[in-house]
Amino acid sequence: MKLTFRIIAWVALSFTHVIGSIQIFDTNYIAYILGFVGVVILYERLLMS
C-alpha cells in the first residue's frame, strides 16, 4: 500500500509539472491538481505513521 501511494504521488507531481508547463494561465486547474497531490501525500503520511 505504501509503495502504491508513493507511486501515485510521484505520477501526480509529474503530471502537475506537465500541465503547469502547458496551461500556465489556467490557475484554478493547477490549484485543484496541487490540492489533490496534497491529499495523496497526506494519506501516505497517515499510512506510514
pLDDT given at position 19:
64
What's the whole-model pTM score? 0.39
Q: What is the pLDDT of residues 17-47, one digit of tens each?
A: 666 666 655 666 767 777 788 888 888 887 7
> Which DSSP string corresponds to 1-40?
-HHHHHHHHHHHHHHHHHHHHH-SS-HHHHHHHHHHHHHH
**Helices 27-48, 2-22: inter-axial angle, 10-degree rounding:** 170
The domain locations on the chain are 2-48
Q: Which residues of 2-28 are buried (b: 16+ CB within 10 A; e: fewer)?
A: eeebeebbeebeeeeeeeeeeeeeeee
pLDDT at 8 > cutoff 70? yes
